[in-house]
Amino acid sequence: TCVYMPRPAVLVVSQIAGLRAAFEARGLAGPWIRWTETGEDPALQLQSCDVLVGEPALLAPLVASAPRLAWLQSTFAGCNQLLDVPRRDYTVTRLAGCFGPDMGEYCTLHILALERQYEEQRRMQSRAEWAASRASAGFTYRRLSSLTLGVL
């Protein structure tokens, strides 16, 4: 006996440029995936939606209007906006395997900013204060070549 299981109805609500192309490049296209542009009223599509995909800030206000919602796929690592949504009868997941390089760059840049004391240097620059040397301004930092960075 063969049981036919229909594909879930997916609604994507996102401001991420290129997301549709990324879906299509991975074979994730078809009439079962619907796209709505930000600002468009997705009310009718929400009634038959099983899966919501998008940024938590855009999706949180829509959850209550999606009676069949079983799964919310966040395109962001964080989903704080969903904490204020009282409904809890659906699964929330985040995209995995795609943020690694971006998070690595983000962490590296923040470590560099801390090591080089960029905030204080920017404040001094805005006051037009120029130190004769980093040492005279109290700035000391290690060379990047002397550091090892691990991003988990």
Residues 62, 52 contacting (CB under 8 angstroms): yes
pLDDT at 132: 75
pLDDT attached to residue 70: 95
Mean pLDDT to the nearest integer, 110-119: 86
The whole model's pTM is what?
0.64
Comparing 77 with 9, which gets the higher pLDDT?
9
Residue 6's DSSP bridge partners are none
**53, 94 Cβ separation under 8 angstroms:** no
In the chain, the amino acid numbered 44 is L
